[in-house]
């Protein structure tokens, strides 16, 4: 099954990158068959690269938060093994989440990696904060269980407010807890540079 084979190669890469091997790649692979054609051999040639550990973190372009606040949100320490999955959560959920909670949904954080010696990584974050975005309208779709005002009184975000990801998630959780709906999925739709629905 070619699709499963492709998925499994992705899982192999993910496994290595979770265990510190940032530069891991599959160089090539081959498939051969036994003489009777009933068995298949799969060979991978891989480049593991070095096993990396975090060394130093630095930031530029930020004005809303101090380096200490960003470091606390990142929550990764010097000497920790590089783990791509955890790193992406730290940057794109926790650090970027700080900006999303203040309305800066168009902020951008770009990590730049610098290998130091054979096993260490310095990471420099280039931050573009952009500007605040406000809530224009709130629409409710798919409700046939209750009156709309019952839903709206559970919300913690309102038209005219600065967008706040944390309050939007809290609103969705509390609507789900009402037990009227199979799922509650917030959808942020950009209207223009300054407003979202």
What pLDDT, in 10s, does the model give residues 59-117? Answer: 999 999 999 999 999 999 999 999 999 999 999 999 999 999 999 999 999 999 999 98
What pLDDT, in 10s, does the model give residues 47-71? Answer: 999 999 999 999 999 999 999 999 9
pTM of model > 0.85: no
Pick 144 or 8 by higher pLDDT.
8
CA distance 188 to 197: 6
* Contact between residue 73 and residue 91 where contact means Cβ atoms under 8 Å apart: no
Continuous H helices in 56-186: 67-74, 84-89, 96-100, 148-152, 165-177
What pLDDT, in 10s, does the model give residues 24-33? Answer: 999 999 999 9
Secondary structure percentages of the chain, helix, strand, coil, to 5: 30, 25, 45
**Which of 75, 139, 136, 129 has the alpha carbon at shortest distance from 102?**
129
Residue 170 backbone dihedrals phi, psi, to 5 degrees: -65, -40
112 in the Ramachandran plot: left (φ > 0), alpha (ψ -120 to 50) or beta? beta
Q: Is the pLDDT of residue 145 over 90?
A: no
Q: Is the pLDDT of residue 146 over 90?
A: no
Q: Please report which confidence band the pLDDT of residue 120 belongs to, taking 50, 70 and 90 as the band edges.
A: very high
């Amino acid at each position: 099954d070619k699709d499963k084979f492709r998925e499994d190669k992705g899982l192999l890469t993910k496994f290595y990158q979770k265990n510190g091997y940032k530069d891991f790649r599959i160089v090539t692979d081959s498939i051969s068959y036994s003489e009777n054609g009933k068995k298949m051999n799969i060979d991978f040639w891989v480049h593991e690269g070095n096993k990396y550990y975090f060394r130093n973190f630095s930031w530029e372009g930020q004005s809303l938060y101090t380096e200490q606040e960003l470091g606390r949100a990142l929550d990764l320490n010097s000497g920790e093994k590089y783990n791509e999955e955890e790193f992406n959560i730290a940057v794109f959920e926790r650090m970027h989440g700080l900006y999303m909670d203040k309305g800066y949904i168009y902020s951008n954080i770009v990590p730049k990696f610098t290998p130091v010696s054979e096993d260490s990584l310095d990471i420099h974050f280039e931050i573009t904060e952009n500007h605040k975005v406000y809530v224009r309208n709130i629409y409710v779709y798919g409700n046939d269980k209750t009156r709309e005002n019952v839903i709206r009184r559970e919300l913690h975000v309102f038209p005219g407010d600065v967008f706040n990801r944390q309050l939007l998630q809290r609103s969705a959780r509390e609507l789900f807890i009402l037990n009227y709906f199979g799922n509650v999925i917030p959808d942020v739709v950009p209207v223009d540079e300054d407003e979202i629905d």
